[in-house]
């Protein structure tokens, strides 16, 4: 690993100021590996929800989707967005890698269990559509353990990316998706009432057990042989992680709360129609985040190539997303018809609006990833706060009048607003020519100390 980093740094210094005509740079190669992992996971995920919609009624789909959303929201809050922090920090930590990974796992897992217990306690005195979680002790335990496992499952991707093993994420996510799909089919065959929920949780726990063996046996020891190159004081480091966490809270706040909002305001059936489309939106978002993660890791290792990497990632995201969004908008009824005629009738407009909104969202993610490579997190916090405020407020106001289509319009408006706020910082990065410094974290997007 140290040889790879040394070679990468030497190549970065020698290539500044001249075009690249050789094999794809690591930022592109790793970005495509992460995108491919997303595509494989999302492809099987698509079939997962198609099969779920065929084997279970919309109310069951909506109920299980809400339970999974609650579990993932708990995991997201407990995870403190350490995935993004690990991707930035691990390439530079050296001997402290093992301590950092263990501390991240332990702290996040403990917090997830506490939050899950609190959630189940609230459920015990509330009459909601998630009552099945409190009516069965075994299911409640699975929910809590699943929340803790989901935290580690997410963090281990950040560990793999930070240790520059993005291709491992592809294998991990592909295996998880296949096992999850098989578990869903098996649960339907065996007549398990909460089969959708259980078929999601069990593969997560298996993936955590399997993946972390090679992480701690091989990857972490190799990373610890590298010198410590982190140029942050403890105070700046804590601020970096803290602001990353705040940014994630805004993101997870709207992404996981919206299905719960639909469930409460419009019922389980409406949430079933909404959730499958919202999941598709999450897939597109993951493609942008995958390319952004590679941009952060490789630019942190070679800061003098940040502008070049940002241009390259931006071009490739346009090439990936623009055709996909165009096809999705044109063929939305036919696509949703795979889930059933009711899904096409209820969610076609919503899907089209969300797909169009994913384009300005991609620009926001590129800006967040590029500024994070500089050690700046204010851009992420500001843009996610704007997205959360616009999306949630517009959804709450318009949902009773426009149904789930209100969320589509709110998503489009919110992401356009956020894109406009990050554009100055992104343009400033694209104009960079000399090596990028490692400043302390600024208070706002594109600011200086």
Chain centroid offset of residue 448 CA: 28
Contact 80, 245 (CB under 8 A): yes
The alpha carbons of the chain give a radius of gyration, in whole angstroms, of 21
DSSP 299-319: HHHSGGGHHHHHHHHHHHHHH
Neighbours of 439 (CB within 10 A): 14
Assessment of whether the complete model's pTM goes beyond 0.85: no
| Tokens encoding 300 | 């942190």
| Tokens encoding 432 | 């960079």
Closest CA to 98 of 159, 167, 166: 159
Residue 96 DSSP symbol? G
- What are the distances in angstroms from CA 183 to CA 61, 142, 186, 202? 15, 15, 5, 8
How much is the pLDDT for 416? 96
How much is the pLDDT for 128? 61
Residue 403, helix vs strand vs coil: coil
How much is the pLDDT for 129? 59
CA quadruple 201, 204, 205, 210: dihedral, nearest 10: 160
Contact 197, 68 (CB under 8 A): yes
How much is the pLDDT for 388? 93
With b meaning 16 or more CB within 10 Å and e meaning fewer, what string describes 389-406?
ebbbebbeebbeebbbbb
Residue 80 DSSP symbol? T
With b meaning 16 or more CB within 10 Å and e meaning fewer, what string describes 45-57?
bbebbebbbebbe
How much is the pLDDT for 82? 82
CA distance 421 to 20: 31
From first to last of the 449 residues of the chain, give the pLDDT tens digit. 334 334 443 443 344 344 444 445 667 677 777 777 777 776 777 788 788 888 887 777 777 877 887 898 898 888 877 877 787 778 777 787 888 899 899 999 999 999 999 988 887 666 565 666 766 777 788 899 999 999 999 999 889 888 878 778 878 888 898 899 889 988 888 877 778 888 989 999 999 999 999 999 989 888 887 766 665 566 667 787 888 888 888 887 788 788 888 887 887 777 777 888 888 888 888 888 888 888 887 777 677 888 988 998 999 899 989 999 999 999 989 888 877 777 777 888 899 999 999 999 999 999 999 998 887 888 999 999 999 999 999 999 988 888 889 999 999 999 999 999 999 999 999 887 544 444 444 444 444 33
| Tokens encoding 225 | 């042989």
């Amino acid at each position: 690993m140290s040889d790879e980093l040394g070679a990468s740094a030497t190549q970065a210094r020698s290539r500044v100021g001249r075009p690249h005509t050789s094999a794809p740079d690591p930022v592109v190669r790793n970005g495509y590996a992460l995108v491919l992992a997303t595509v494989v996971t999302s492809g099987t995920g698509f079939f997962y929800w198609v099969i779920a919609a065929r084997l279970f009624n919309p109310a069951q789909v909506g109920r299980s989707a809400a339970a999974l959303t609650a579990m993932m929201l708990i995991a997201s809050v407990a995870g403190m967005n350490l995935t993004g922090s690990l991707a930035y920090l691990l390439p530079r930590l050296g001997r402290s890698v093992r301590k950092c990974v263990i501390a991240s796992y332990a702290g996040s897992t403990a917090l997830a269990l506490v939050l899950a217990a609190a959630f189940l306690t609230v459920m015990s005195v509330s009459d909601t559509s998630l009552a099945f979680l409190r009516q069965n002790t075994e299911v409640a335990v699975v929910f809590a353990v699943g929340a803790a496992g989901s935290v580690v499952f997410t963090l281990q991707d950040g560990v793999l990316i930070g240790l520059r093993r993005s291709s491992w994420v592809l294998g991990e996510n592909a295996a998880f998706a296949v096992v999850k799909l098989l578990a869903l089919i098996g649960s339907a065959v065996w007549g398990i009432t909460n089969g959708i929920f259980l078929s999601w949780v069990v593969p997560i726990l298996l993936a955590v057990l399997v993946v972390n063996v090679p992480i701690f046996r091989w990857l972490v020891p190799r990373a610890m042989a590298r010198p410590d190159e982190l140029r942050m004081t403890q105070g700046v480091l804590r601020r970096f992680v803290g602001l990353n966490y705040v940014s994630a809270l805004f993101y997870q706040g709207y992404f996981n709360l919206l299905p719960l909002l639909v469930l409460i305001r419009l019922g389980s059936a409406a949430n079933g129609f909404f959730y499958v489309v919202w999941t598709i939106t999450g897939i597109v978002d993951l493609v942008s985040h995958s390319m952004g993660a590679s941009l952060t890791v490789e630019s942190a290792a070679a800061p003098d190539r940040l502008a070049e990497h940002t241009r390259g990632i931006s071009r490739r995201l346009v090439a990936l997303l623009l055709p996909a969004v165009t096809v999705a908008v044109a063929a939305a009824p036919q696509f949703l018809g795979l889930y059933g005629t009711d899904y096409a009738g209820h969610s076609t407009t919503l899907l089209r609006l969300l797909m169009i909104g994913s384009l300005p969202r991609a620009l926001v993610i590129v800006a967040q990833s590029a500024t994070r490579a500089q050690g700046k997190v204010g851009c992420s916090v500001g843009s996610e706060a704007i997205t959360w405020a616009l999306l949630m407020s517009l959804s709450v106001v318009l949902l009773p009048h426009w149904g789930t289509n209100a969320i589509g319009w709110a998503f489009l408006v919110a992401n356009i607003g956020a894109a406009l706020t990050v554009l100055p910082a992104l343009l400033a990065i694209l104009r960079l020519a000399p090596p990028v410094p490692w400043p302390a974290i600024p208070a706002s997007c594109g600011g200086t100390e």
